[in-house]
Structure 1
């Protein structure tokens, strides 16, 4: 079975979601990050996987449900930290972030199916901003991420090209919207209106259509 890894930062004011400030204060931005992380972990906790890893920058808090192994992130740039995540499992692994609180079991189902790794060598979930929200590898190889320029509008395209360039068969997951800016908050909250992220967004004045 697959190991599912969530890469995250502890929701500490001033250290997470700094692009949300302004209009949100650092404390408000951190509370949105905590809600997004809690929603993500709740979804992951219910999935049928071999192991659940929280690959964390910081210390765990009360938002962490049971059933996760907490592993500190390595140092370096984001490409190096993502590569470090793929050094953890001993078999197939699926990595997701904390910025898509609307993620559902159905979004992840293709990469977690019993025959997932018979059908493809990798799974790729593009983000609406040009990045990616999920990456799965049948045989985790950190070098597939090292050197890929991160946090740009072409990150997803370049990461996918790295996979195809290695001769991997890729199964595509759906496109999801990350919460990166204030404009994303209401839009993402509307996609999962019963979640903690949506509740917190409404408390902070977001208008959900």
Structure 2
């Protein structure tokens, strides 16, 4: 998982307004906690948090924390895969962000299970805004990660398709995961909370109490 520590003014800045920086950071912390909890319920040999910032009380046990590398998001994602390949060179690796707190463990557990991995080289989780929320590689290497991610245009409506094009160019067999909504704007937050009303994220959003009409 790749994430930022939930520090006011540094995370979820597109939620302000209507949120204050402190409220946006509280939502980011809830999203982070929900996602860590979800991933903790997906069978895995190792759980790695690639973090920009310092861990806090939201971090559950069982996670190894490593700092993010420098550079743009493309370089940081590539470096995360390279690190995973170094510590577990013969294991598949799945990278997930902190923007999909509605993620259900079953969405990952079945397609990533040993019974369903044969013949699959990569897993791709498309985001509703044209990006992607997950990328998995059956045989991650630093070189492959660089070819897939370095120079990839980030945070655009064409980011996901550009990544799919690169996966195809590498002749990788890709299994698609369900489309999920990233929490970027407050409208996204409302939609995601409605999809997972029992989570920390939805509870935190209800506690903030910003009316939907205030986001217009």
Would you call these one fold, judging by a TM-score over 0.5?
yes
Query: 1:111·1:136 contact (CA, 8 Å) conserved in 2?
Result: no
Q: Secondary structure at the match of 2:83?
A: coil
TM-score (norm 2): 0.91
What is the CA distance between 1:109 and its match in structure 2?
2.4
User: Residue by residue, what CA displacement relative to the aligned partner does 1:132-167 show, whole Å, maximum 9, x if unpaired?
Assistant: 000000111222111110011100010111101110
**Whole-Å separation in 1 of the counterparts to 2:55 and 2:83:** 18
**Whole-Å separation in 2 of the counterparts to 1:157 and 1:115:** 28
What is the CA distance between 1:116 and its match in structure 2?
3.7
What is the CA distance between 1:39 and its match in structure 2?
0.2
- 1:82 aligns with 77
User: Residue by residue, what CA displacement relative to the aligned partner does 1:96-144 show, whole Å, maximum 9, x if unpaired?
Assistant: 0000000011111244211343131000000000000000001112221
- 1:186 aligns with 190
Where do 5+ consecutive residues of structure 2 fail to align?
Answer: none
**Are 1:142 and 2:157 counterparts?**
no
**Whole-Å separation in 1 of the counterparts to 2:172 and 2:115:** 16
- 1:16 aligns with 11
Query: 1:78·1:150 contact (CA, 8 Å) conserved in 2?
Result: yes
For the aligned residue pairs, the C-alpha RMSD in angstroms reads: 1.2
**Whole-Å separation in 2 of the counterparts to 1:63 and 1:81:** 22
**Whole-Å separation in 2 of the counterparts to 1:33 and 1:138:** 29
What is the CA distance between 1:207 and its match in structure 2?
6.2
TM-score (norm 1): 0.94
**Whole-Å separation in 2 of the counterparts to 1:156 and 1:172:** 11
**Are 1:174 and 2:178 counterparts?**
yes
What is the CA distance between 1:204 and its match in structure 2?
1.0
**Are 1:113 and 2:113 counterparts?**
yes
**Whole-Å separation in 2 of the counterparts to 1:37 and 1:69:** 15
User: Residue by residue, what CA displacement relative to the aligned partner does 1:9-54 show, whole Å, maximum 9, x if unpaired?
Assistant: 0000000000111110000000000000000001111221010001
What is the CA distance between 1:206 and its match in structure 2?
4.8
Deviates more, 1:30-39 or 1:115-124: 115-124
**Whole-Å separation in 1 of the counterparts to 2:117 and 2:92:** 8
Where do 5+ consecutive residues of structure 1 fail to align?
Answer: 1-5
User: Residue by residue, what CA displacement relative to the aligned partner does 1:60-107 show, whole Å, maximum 9, x if unpaired?
Assistant: 000000010001000000000000110122221000000000001111
**Whole-Å separation in 1 of the counterparts to 2:114 and 2:69:** 31
User: How many residue pairs get matched?
Assistant: 203
Query: 2:19·2:210 contact (CA, 8 Å) conserved in 1?
Result: no
**Are 1:55 and 2:50 counterparts?**
yes
